C-alpha cells in the first residue's frame, strides 16, 4: 500500500515541506533510507543523516530548520517519534484469528468469551475465565482460576499460573511466566532452608505489556501487582509482593527484589538491581546498571551508580574516579620527593 506525503501529513495533522505527492510504501532507518520509504528524525544528534538519506519522506519536528539542501520531502509534526509509532500501529499486521485449534485443550469448566482464539497445544485449566477477543497463541499454559480481560494477546509459550488476574488490552510476549513460585526460604539449623509456601497471586492491570522471558512471581501472601499502563522489557525479574506503579517503564535484565514498591511514571534502565522492601517515589529515574539499596523518597529524583545516588553528584564523582590512578601516582611522587 502506498501513501503520499500529503496523505501522511493529513493523518498526523502535519505540514508538508517539499513534494506533497512523494510516494512511500515502506519505512527505513534514516541512515539506511531508500527511495520510496519513510523515516524520521527525532534526535538532533542524528541530524547529519537527513542531508544524505535517500528516503523519500522524513518526519521532523515543527521547529527543524535545515542548514544544507535536502533531497527528501519533510512532514513537519509536533513529535516525530510518536507520529512514527502512530503510523506503524496503522500498518502493523497482527494475525486476527478466532476459534479453538484441534490440538488445544480447554477444560469444560473454563469460560471463554466471544471471538477468542486458542492455538494448538495450548492448555486452559478448570475455572479459567477468558474475556472477549483474547488471542492465546500455541503452547500457552493458563492455570486454574486465572482471569484474563478483553482484547489481551498472549504469545506462544507464555505461562500464567494459579489465580493470576490479567487485565484488558494487555500484551504478554513469548516465554513470560506470571505467577511462578516466589523465592521464599527460611533458614533452619545448620545450612539448610525450609521453603515458605507462596500462596498469593499476581495482578496485572489494564494496558500492560510484558516482554519476552520476563518473570513475575506470585506473592507470599496477598498480591504482586503490576499497575495499569506499565511497560516491561524482556528478561526482567519481578519478585514476590513487588508493586509497580502506573505507567512505569523498565528496561531489560532489571531485577526487583521482594516487597519493593515502585511508584508511578518511573523510568528504570537496563540491568538495574533493586533490593527488597524499598519504596521508590513517583517519577524516579534510575540509570542503567545501577544498584539501588535505599528507598528514594523525593519524587522525580534521578539516580545512578552502585550503590545508586543522585545522578549529578555521581557524574561529578566519576570524573574524579577516572583520575584516581594519576592522582595516586602524583601522591607517590610527592611522598618520594619528601625523602
State how beta strands 3-4 and 23-24 pair: antiparallel
Q: How far apart are CA 45 and CA 34, in angstroms?
A: 21
**CA triple 318-321-324, angle to 5 deg:** 160
Q: How far apart are CA 128 and CA 142, in angstroms?
A: 7
Contact 197, 219 (CB under 8 A): no
Q: Which residues are catalytic?
A: 240
Contact 93, 99 (CB under 8 A): no
Q: Is 296 helix (H, G, I), strand (E, B) or coil?
A: strand
Burial of 191 (0-12, 13-18, 19+ CB in 10 A): exposed
Is the bond leading into 230 cis (omega within 30 degrees of zero)? no
Q: How far apart are CA 55 and CA 46, in angstroms?
A: 15
Q: How far apart are CA 148 and CA 125, in angstroms?
A: 13
Contact 277, 296 (CB under 8 A): no
Q: Which three cell numbers stand for residue 26?
A: 515502506
44 phi/psi in degrees, rounded to 5: -65, -10
Contact 315, 297 (CB under 8 A): no
Residues sharing a CB contact under 8 Å with residue 292, sequence separation 6 or more, in sequence order: 272, 273, 274, 275, 278, 280, 286, 303, 307, 308
- How many angstroms separate the first and last alpha carbons of the chain? 82
Amino acid at each position: 500500500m502506498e501513501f503520499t506525503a500529503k496523505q501522511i501529513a493529513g493523518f498526523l495533522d502535519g505540514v508538508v515541506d517539499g513534494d506533497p505527492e512523494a510516494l512511500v510504501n515502506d519505512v527505513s532507518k534514516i541512515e539506511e533510507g531508500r527511495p520510496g520509504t519513510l523515516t524520521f528524525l527525532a534526535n538532533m544528534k542524528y541530524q547529519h543523516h537527513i542531508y544524505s538519506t535517500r528516503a523519500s519522506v522524513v518526519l521532523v519536528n515543527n521547529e527543524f530548520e535545515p542548514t544544507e539542501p535536502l533531497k527528501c520531502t519533510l512532514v513537519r509534526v509536533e513529535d516525530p517519534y510518536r507520529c512514527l509509532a502512530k503510523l506503524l500501529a496503522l500498518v502493523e499486521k497482527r494475525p486476527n484469528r478466532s476459534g479453538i485449534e484441534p490440538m488445544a485443550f480447554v477444560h469444560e469448566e473454563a469460560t471463554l468469551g466471544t471471538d477468542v482464539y486458542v492455538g494448538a497445544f495450548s492448555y486452559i485449566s478448570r475455572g479459567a475465565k477468558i474475556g472477549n477477543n483474547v488471542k492465546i497463541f500455541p503452547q500457552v499454559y493458563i492455570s486454574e482460576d486465572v482471569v484474563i480481560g478483553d482484547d489481551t494477546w498472549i504469545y506462544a509459550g507464555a505461562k500464567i499460573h494459579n489465580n493470576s488476574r490479567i487485565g484488558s488490552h494487555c500484551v504478554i510476549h513469548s516465554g513470560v511466566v506470571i505467577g511462578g513460585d516466589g523465592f521464599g526460604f527460611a533458614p533452619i539449623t545448620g545450612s539448610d532452608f525450609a521453603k515458605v509456601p507462596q500462596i498469593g497471586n499476581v495482578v496485572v492491570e489494564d494496558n500492560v505489556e510484558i516482554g519476552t522471558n520476563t518473570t513475575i512471581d506470585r506473592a507470599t501472601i496477598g498480591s504482586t501487582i503490576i499497575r495499569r499502563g506499565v511497560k516491561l522489557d524482556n528478561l526482567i525479574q519481578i519478585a514476590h509482593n513487588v508493586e509497580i506503579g502506573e505507567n512505569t517503564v523498565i528496561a531489560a535484565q532489571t531485577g526487583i527484589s521482594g516487597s519493593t514498591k515502585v511508584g508511578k511514571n518511573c523510568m528504570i534502565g537496563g540491568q538495574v538491581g533493586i533490593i527488597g522492601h524499598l519504596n521508590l517515589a513517583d517519577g524516579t529515574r534510575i540509570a542503567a546498571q545501577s544498584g539501588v539499596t535505599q528507598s528514594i523518597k523525593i519524587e522525580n529524583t534521578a539516580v545512578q551508580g552502585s550503590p545508586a545516588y543522585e545522578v549529578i553528584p555521581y557524574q561529578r564523582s566519576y570524573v574524579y574516579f577516572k583520575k584516581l590512578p594519576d592522582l595516586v601516582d602524583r601522591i607517590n611522587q610527592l611522598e618520594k620527593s619528601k625523602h
